[in-house]
Amino acid sequence: MTLVRVLTAGALVAIGAVLPTAGQAAAAVTVPFQIDPAPLGNPNGSFDVPAIRCAAVVGDRGVTITGGKEGGWGCLLSSPVEWLNLSTGAHGVATLSDGLNGIPPAVTLDTGTGLVVVMVSSRTGPVTPGFVTFHVP
């Protein structure tokens, strides 16, 4: 009987160590993408404007679009962001912030769970829009 209790307790401890706790959140995943400002979508940019680096930071039930460089910089300022959840059909439009007061441009999208596609374009000039797809848990 004692052996059965010890084995049962050991099995419960092992299962508890493998399963996540109720309040434990998954770590955010960063998915980089770029916007090509040169005509015809040149991936290297042009002589006067290099490729624009953005990132999608995927968390629980949503995503933050921001710059792909250190500190969240590198993405376009005040630009339209369109998204579509391919799993649910939910969609929306948002705008990246203006980058004023030393705060990098960013926007948080409440996409819900599923496979999501995001497009970032520019209001100021001809660019090839940046697209990114990812799964939101």
CA angle 73, 81, 72 (to 5 degrees): 15
CA angle 44, 117, 131 (to 5 degrees): 10
Residue 58's closest CA among 94, 92, 29?
29
* Bigger pLDDT: 49 vs 56: 56
Q: What is the pLDDT of residue 36?
A: 80
pLDDT digit string (tens) for 89-106?
999 999 999 999 999 999
Q: What is the pLDDT of residue 38?
A: 64
Provide the whole-model pTM.
0.74
Query: What are the respective helix, strand and coil percentages of the chain, to the nearest 5?
Result: 20, 40, 45
- With 70 as the cut, is the pLDDT of residue 54 above it? yes
